[in-house]
Structure 1
Amino acid sequence: MPHRAPLTNHHADDSVCPSEHKHTVTGKPRHPECPGRSYSQAVCSCGTWEIKHPGKGYVNECRRLHLASHQEEDGLGPEVLRELLRLNPQ
């Protein structure tokens, strides 16, 4: 089963900011009831990695790099995937 590290946004009081609350790039709210995004967080299902940072783009990039490291560890690199997806002519 592949690892997951969902990205979540949080308000300053540490409550989760719902996905329907849209923000500007700097985290200012576009939803009238939202106090704004204070930080973004990603926690991996492996149990040993997490990141919490004000920059959503930074968190997302770190999350992608971490998940890619799991694919390499698990032997699910591009070569293996290509072999799995290869059609066998019969």
Structure 2
Amino acid sequence: MTVHRAPLTNHHSDDSLCPPDHKHSSSAKPLPPDCPGRAYSRTVCTCGSWEFKGPGKGYVNESRKRHLDTHPRPRPKAPPVLREPLRLDLP
């Protein structure tokens, strides 16, 4: 079973990638002087049929989480079976 991912990326107004090391204030203003600022955030799912783009990073992230919840989660592997039954009649 495939585990789907939808990484969140931030972009400048010229569609260039805003690197993760470009920190922003809580009001989304860029802290580095050479950064023009985040214009939008985008996420694309590895399923290939879903993509979301919006100006608010929080809303895009929430939409990403909702979409990923629509995919079935892989089941954890079962524990190994005991090779011999436990003997409870030992003295």
Where on the TM-score scale, by shorter chain, does this alignment land: which range? 0.7 to 0.9
CA distance in 2, matches of 1:47, 1:88: 35
Unaligned residue ranges in structure 2 (runs of 5+): 83-91
2:9 is aligned to 8
TM-score by length of 2: 0.78
- What's the offset of the Cα at 1:89? 8.4
Letter in 1 for 2:50: W
Unaligned residue ranges in structure 1 (runs of 5+): none
The residue correspondences of 1:4-43 to structure 2 (distance < 5 A) are 4-43=5-44
- Based on CA coordinates, which of the two structures has the bigger radius of gyration? 2
TM-score by length of 1: 0.79
State whether residues 5 and 63 of structure 1, in contact with CA within 8 Å, keep that contact through their aligned partners in structure 2: yes
User: Which structure's residues are more often helix, by fraction?
Assistant: 1
The residue correspondences of 1:1-90 to structure 2 (distance < 5 A) are 1-71=2-72, 76=73, 80-81=75-76, 84=77
- What's the offset of the Cα at 1:25? 2.4
Count of residues paired in the alignment? 81
RMSD of the TM alignment (CA)?
Answer: 1.7
